[in-house]
Chain A
């Protein structure tokens, strides 16, 4: 008797106005396996899984769960059928408690009232069963990112999910937390659950998955091969469609004087200290990388370094001269900025590429004379930059909203790099872009560094920090807790610093 597949999707198609996101895809997951769904940003993995979870409706295709054909119109349907999903961007309500987030939709009640006593007990029991070490009564905003992810998993388990979809679950975790997650995943598998792991990371696929399917450009290029038979370069080839250089880089040759120096940086919000006596410096011709789990003060640090936030105290020197003022002063003093989120801070998406490529520099004499815009000069400039930075668009007059994520990021890069900054604050420079845009941005950053510019790289992507930085540091709880030359620490060691479980100077006890 052949085993019944937990999930079977046949001939799935989903069209969006400009693109066919999922193109006639078949996908099968067996009961009790961990199945990795591999693909680049925009390959269609999330769309396919959103279809399975009922967040997106397909244009055509059939879905079978445990051999039965099913109609999934909305998440309520898939939940009822035993499908649970842990979203990459957590679907949690920060101001509410763990219990409230977990039980909602399936609340135990007594009469007309919610039975919080019973609910707390049930949720705590579940937490203890899987060894999650959180309190059911804690508010979600007080939890670490890794713990929040467990709340997401709890939501699915509370609903007795049989098939669990994990969407890029490791993107926000430290290497240690990733290990713990893998342990949890194996436990769930042992309990007979099927797990779909959406990822673009090859190593974790090989490490934890039983089988792999690879999506590229909306098409299934490889379906259900055994993970243990694959190696990373093979998978990369399938995922990207060409040979890619995953690890190469180059280190700084000439390091000059200190370009930017920060000391005694303190910042509190609503009485809570966020940045605590933080100090750092970056030299000319060097990339100073700051790794860390999100929410340890990175955003605030970026805001201080770009003039967006005035801290309680700071001594900020550029080339030995004090640097103060508003964002405009920082920009005019040669401090460039790649914002961590291009959609909220980086670009005015409903404006044209032309308008965006001068944003922040629009008062410079090249673009403005006596309060009037130099339209022609701007047009020529924008056309040049589109070409130079390989922004894929027919016309620079088009709106930024018409561009893909990678091309939008290139507009941000073009804007900053073209104005010759002495110091660059680069935050999450390749978040959410495809591999080719990533390669392009990396090479531009290294070129800028080699021109003798100073770069502070702040990224949640540990691989990125390790690959590009000449000096690596870790931010934890508002402080730079450790710093080292490139290629000294291994991944696990940085991870220890990221969780604060190891302080600088301590010996690693192996």
Chain B
């Protein structure tokens, strides 16, 4: 146990320290860019902090933003367990949103405790099927899943665009969106009028469940084996194609849940372009989580806070909100390169000997070279 704790804080792949340092470095670099662009980074960071945690409303916003990010981050991390890069989370989320909207729009005379779960299930199912298609292409034809899922993203977005502009367009609406889903299919809000819904708990529970699933079930074990050494898994009688297919379906189901939670909770209808790239932000979440299923929860909250905060930034200052996107992208790159982070720290150390603590951490772990 002690050893495991220790390894978590070592500066290497999968360590908490690496994630935290990467985040800090990314924030510092974006601050420098801000300063170069003529904005005061401290004003910006203050506005972000206020927007993320400054009030009850701010905290609600943070968790509202965190909800889909936890889902999409989880979808990405889980697929990675089987060494599958599911870049199609965005498209699967859109399809999930469609599934949830279709069920949610149906007036079946059902009570809420049946209609709502059905609508969520619709979202999960659509997401799973859509990801399953990419899985089918990979397993049956050996298609590169990265390119395939990106193509499927474009197709899904265009398809939803077509539906919300045509067959499903709300009567009299100028924007591409459907009618409101029925009252019985809505996710209740925790702190009305804030948009935060109980979906946040589903998101967190989903992470805990998937952690249990990968560690304790036999199929979870097979998924890990396939992810870490496909040939050995195959030799051991594991049907690798089936495992990859199932993994993608589950990943898509999680992404579909994200879409359902947006449609049934936040937007209360399917709106074209409802996602400002939650699916891709999920990649950043997964990176910050160091591909750890439980790590997705804090990572999702961090990025949720950044997103909520940057909205405040855009509202109250003239500083562009895109800085949070820059931070996200840099976290993806930095967490993936422990060697680079180490070297950045070394440069820091040479530049100023004040930051002794950081240096101590890094020197303990860096190899003599």
CB within 8 Å of B: which residues of A?
A: 17, 306-308, 326-332, 337, 339, 344-351, 355, 359-360, 362-363, 368, 371-373, 375
Contacts and interface: CB of A to CB of B under 8 A. Distances in A.
B235 A360 contact: yes
Interface string B46-89: 00000000000000000000000000000000000000000000
Contact of B218 (A17, A327, A363): A363
Given A372-B216, A372-B217, A373-B216, A344 B229 contact: yes
B224 A360 contact: no
B209 interface: no
A359 B218 contact: no
Interface string B215-242: 0111111101100110111111111000
Given A348-B229, A359-B232, A331 B218 contact: no
Nearest to B4: A397
A92 to B, nearest CB: 23
B231 A373 contact: no
Given A371-B218, A371-B219, A372-B217, A346 B232 contact: yes
Contacts of B236: 327, 331, 359-360, 362
A348 B81 CA distance: 13
Given A350-B228, A351-B228, A375-B216, A362 B221 contact: yes
A362 B234 contact: no
B216 A328 contact: no
15 contacts: A307-B237, A308-B235, A326-B239, A328-B237, A331-B237, A337-B235, A348-B233, A350-B228, A351-B225, A359-B233, A360-B235, A360-B236, A360-B238, A371-B218, A373-B218
Contact of B235 (A346, A362, A371, A373): A346
Given A326-B239, A327-B237, 19 more contacts: A306-B235, A326-B237, A330-B237, A332-B237, A344-B229, A345-B234, A346-B235, A347-B229, A348-B225, A348-B232, A351-B228, A359-B232, A360-B238, A363-B218, A371-B218, A372-B216, A372-B217, A373-B217, A375-B216
B97 to A, nearest CB: 31
State which size class the interface on B falls in: 20 to 34
Contacts of A360: 235-238
Nearest to B218: A368
Q: Which 10 A-B pairs have the closest CB atoms?
A: A328-B237, A360-B236, A327-B237, A348-B229, A345-B235, A359-B236, A368-B218, A350-B228, A348-B228, A331-B237
Contacts of B216: 372-373, 375
B250 to A, nearest CB: 14
Contacts of B219: 371
Nearest to B229: A348
A350 B217 CA distance: 19
A286 B221 CA distance: 36
Contacts of A351: 224-225, 228
A219 B126 CA distance: 64
B215 to A, nearest CB: 8
Contacts of A329: 237
A349 B225 CA distance: 10
B217 A328 contact: no
Contacts of A328: 237-239
A345 B233 CA distance: 8
A307 B220 CA distance: 23
B234 A327 contact: yes
Nearest to B367: A17
B229 A349 contact: yes
Contacts of A337: 235
Contacts of A347: 229, 232
B4 to A, nearest CB: 9
A375 B216 CA distance: 8
A349 B230 CA distance: 11
Nearest to A57: B369
A284 to B, nearest CB: 24
A339 B233 CA distance: 12
A19 B236 CA distance: 32
Given A326-B237, A328-B237, A360-B237, A373 B221 contact: yes
A416 to B, nearest CB: 11
Contacts of A355: 221, 224-225
A330 B217 CA distance: 23
A332 B238 CA distance: 12
Nearest to A355: B221
A360 B233 CA distance: 8
B218 A362 contact: yes
A419 to B, nearest CB: 12
Contact of A359 (B220, B225, B239): B225
A368 B235 CA distance: 19
A372 B220 CA distance: 9
Contacts of B234: 308, 327, 345
A328 B235 CA distance: 8
Nearest to B224: A351
B235 A339 contact: yes
A49 B228 CA distance: 32
Interface string B233-255: 11111110000000000000000
A39 to B, nearest CB: 26
A374 to B, nearest CB: 10
A359 B221 CA distance: 9
Contacts of B229: 344, 347-350
A278 to B, nearest CB: 21
Interface in B25-48: none
Contacts of B228: 348-351
A344 B218 contact: no
B234 to A, nearest CB: 7
A348 B367 CA distance: 26
Contacts of B225: 348, 351, 355, 359
Interface string B300-333: 0000000000000000000000000000000000
A501 B330 CA distance: 62
